[in-house]
Each structure stands twice: as C-alpha cells, then as structure tokens.
C-alpha cells in the first residue's frame, strides 16, 4: 500500500506546474461545448506527462487511463468539468480572462488542473497499485442537457463499468486545505421554466377594454408558490423562483404580454413529475379563467445528486487520514444542481467539496460572481486527496 506521505510529497512537487495549468485555463476560458482550446491544452499536458487518453468524446471531452499492476482487477473513475461561464471577470490578476465575457467563475479550472495533477501522481505511482484509474475531462457542465449525460451516452462508463466514481467541486465558503462530505441526497434536480402570458394591451385608464397580462402573471407567480407551500410534502425540499418578469408597458400602457423565467428544484423524481403537471395546469387554467392564454414550458434539467453512503463514508475516513480530522467537515445538502448527478444515478458515486477560500487574504467571493477566485494552495489538496482516494478505493 502506498504511504500517504509519498502522495503528499508528489503533490507538493507538482503544485507549481498545476498552478500554471490552472492559470492558463483561467486566462483562456471557453463556454460549454466550445472548449476546443481547453481540450487541446489538457491533451498537451497528458502527452507531456506520458498519460494515454482518448479524445473527441462529445467533441471536446477526454478520457485518460492509467493502468497499475493487474489493470483488469478493478476500475475507478475520476471526473472534472472543463467549461466556463458567460461572466465578465472583474479580478485584477495576472491570469485574468482574456476572453472578455467568459470566465472560469465556477472553479472548473481548479477541478481540471487538480485532476491533471492527480493523474500525474497516479502515473508516477502506477507500479505501486493494482487496477485502473479512468479520468473523465467533461465538457458542458453548465448547460442543459449536460456534458455528463452525453459522455455517458458515448460509453465512457462502459467496458468495463467502473466500480465507483469520484468528483470534486470548489467551495469558497470553506477554507483552502479543508474538504467537505455529505452522504446520501446532496444536490437538487433543476428545471428551467419559460412562461408567456398573452393578454390584450390597451390604455391604462381603460382596463375593461384590455386583458391585463401583468395582473394575471402576478396571480400565476403567487398561485405557484401556493403549490410549494400547500401541495408539496413539507419533508421534500422544493424551491420555485421566478427571476425574470418582463412586462414592457408603461405607467399608462397595458402591454400585450408578459414573459417570465424561473427555476424549479426538488429532490424527489415522482414529485418533480407531478409538480411539472400542477404548475402547467395552474398557470394555464388561471390565465384562461381571466380571459388570457398562457404558454408554460418546462425544460427538464439535471436530476438530483445522491452520494453513495458507504463510498462517501470511506472517502471521508480516507480524507481524515490524509488531511487530519480538523480539515474534514460535514456538509448540508443544497438546492444547487450539478450534472455529476447523472453518474450518481448509475453507480456508487461521491461528489465532495474542496475548500478554496481564504478569509485572511480576502478570497471569499461566491461561485458564479465576477470576483470569484481561489486560494491556489487548495490545488495541492485537490490533486493529492483525489489521487489518494482513488488508490484507497482500488485497494479495497
Ligand atoms: Ni460548477
């Protein structure tokens, strides 16, 4: 069995290179499913470090393979996402995005550079462990239908099916050097809602001659919250948020129509399907009862993400061995979503969080904000722990 100190020593030695990889990616971010330069860059690093891979999976995805001794004995999968977000970066740093309007604001540069670092560690130690490590560099996490779903459809989990899969995500609220775990239900399903309420515009002083879509849209928003509080089981987490309401009339103009966008999140597939029906029926019949019409469209997003209890507990214990008990925290479940959920529906999976914040250095901005950044010392934890968890699972 490999000594954790050997992995730590390699993680420390590879850190400068991994920071350079992270900074290169941060400077050159690309949007979901357009990660062509990013993909070429990852491939160049794998080639440089002598790690075999297959490219052109969902165009920009890559699967790298490291075979230890007796490679058929067991396979463990590790996953990182590679895409960035449509955000204008506001950080004043040497590695600021040069693709204006695109930014690694969700830390996928940290996930990918950590996985590359883990790959290099595992490749260095491959004569000291048994089995195979399969590393997925996955495009399009930020965009429905999700690169995870498409990679699975292209067979990245076949021949042979890995025993389990691990993935990590940055968490700026957690200090660098720490990691967090939560077994069981961890993240929500997320669906996008698009609503058009068609009324009849007119003069604001003569509402009786118009059909006011603004008032009707307001009724719909309130009525759908009634579903959240009165129709859903209080024990099943449910969130409905409308973040966009466009009624382009004026003080004295009733517009023809109102357009709205929202998100629906929960942690139960049966309720999810039923809620879709209730929302559509409620909105359409409410509009109709008031003389308007309503188009209610739901774009189904990612399913809920469930961590395998046993695997997550083993990973938590291994993290305590590797980082010390003070650096391993218990997390709550959360209503954000992740396409890693697709992997968790198919096999034992563990999605854990990597602390990347640093209060003293004022690195505290949340993900998906223009000032998000990471304490890069977290990459040493990110690559080292991931390599260690893979080796522990293979040895089981
Ligand atoms: Ni993300």
- Residue 2: predicted pLDDT: 85
Q: Is 229 left (phi over 0), alpha (psi -120 to 50) or beta?
A: alpha
Contact 121, 384 (CB under 8 A): yes
Domain architecture of the chain: domains with CATH: 4-186+304-394 (3.40.630.10), 191-299 (3.30.70.360)
- Say which of 30, 81, 83, 175 is annotated catalytic: 83
- Residue 35: predicted pLDDT: 98
Q: Convert 95-132 to b/e letters by CB count within 10 Å (16 or more is b).
A: bebeeeebbbbbbbbbbbbbbbbbbbbbbbbbeebbbb
- Residue 64: predicted pLDDT: 98
Q: How many other C-beta atoms lie within 10 A of the C-beta of residue 203?
A: 11
- Residue 59: predicted pLDDT: 97
Distance 381 CA to ligand 1 centre (A): 18
* Per-residue tokens: 145: 């239908």
Residue 141 annotated among the catalytic residues of the structure: yes
Which helix (H) or strand (E) element contains residue 85? none
- Residue 308: predicted pLDDT: 98
Query: Tokens 């690093």 identify what position?
Result: 45
Contact 383, 121 (CB under 8 A): yes
Residues of the chain where predicted confidence (pLDDT) is lower than 50: none
Contact 164, 242 (CB under 8 A): no
Distance 341 CA to ligand 1 centre (A): 12
CA distance 266 to 344: 16
- Residue 1: predicted pLDDT: 72
Residue 83 annotated among the catalytic residues of the structure: yes
Ion ligand 1 nearby residues (CB, 5 A): 106
User: pTM value?
Assistant: 0.93
CA distance 317 to 166: 15
């Amino acid at each position: 069995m490999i000594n954790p100190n050997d992995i730590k020593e390699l993680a420390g030695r590879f850190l400068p290179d991994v920071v350079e990889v992270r900074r290169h990616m941060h400077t050159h971010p690309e949007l979901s499913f357009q990660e062509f330069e990013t993909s070429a860059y990852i491939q160049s690093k794998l080639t440089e470090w002598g790690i075999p891979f297959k490219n052109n999976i969902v165009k920009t995805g890559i699967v790298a393979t490291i075979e230890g001794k007796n490679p058929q004995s067991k396979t463990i999968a590790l996953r990182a996402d590679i895409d960035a977000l449509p955000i204008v970066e506001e950080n004043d740093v040497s590695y600021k995005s040069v693709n204006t309007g695109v930014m690694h604001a969700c830390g996928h540069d940290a996930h990918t550079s950590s996985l590359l670092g883990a790959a290099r560690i595992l490749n260095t130690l491959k004569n000291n462990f048994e089995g195979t490590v399969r590393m997925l560099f996955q495009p399009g996490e930020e965009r429905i239908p999700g690169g995870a779903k498409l990679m699975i459809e292209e067979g990245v989990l076949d021949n042979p099916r890995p025993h389990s899969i691990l993935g990590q995500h940055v968490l700026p609220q957690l200090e660098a050097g720490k990691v967090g775990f939560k077994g069981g239900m961890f993240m929500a399903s997320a669906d996008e809602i698009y609503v058009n309420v068609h009324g009849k515009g007119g003069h604001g002083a003569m509402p009786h001659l118009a059909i006011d879509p603004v008032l009707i849209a307001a009724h719909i928003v309130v009525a759908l919250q009634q579903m959240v509080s009165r129709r859903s089981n209080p024990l099943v987490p449910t969130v409905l948020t409308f973040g966009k309401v466009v009624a382009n009339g004026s003080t004295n103009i009733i517009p023809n129509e109102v357009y709205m966008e929202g998100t629906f999140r929960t942690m139960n597939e049966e309720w999810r399907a039923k809620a879709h029906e209730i929302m559509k029926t409620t909105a359409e019949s409410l509009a109709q009862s008031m003389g308007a019409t309503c188009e209610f469209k739901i774009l189904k997003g990612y399913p809920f993400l469930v961590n395998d209890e046993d695997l997550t507990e083993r990973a938590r214990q291994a993290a305590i061995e590797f980082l010390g008990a003070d650096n391993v925290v218990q997390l709550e479940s959360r209503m954000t979503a992740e396409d890693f959920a697709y992997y968790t529906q198919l096999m034992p999976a563990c999605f854990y969080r990597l602390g990347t914040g640093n209060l003293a250095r004022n690195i505290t901005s949340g993900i998906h904000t223009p000032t998000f950044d990471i304490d890069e010392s977290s990459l040493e934890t990110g690559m080292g722990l991931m390599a260690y968890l893979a080796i522990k699972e293979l040895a089981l």
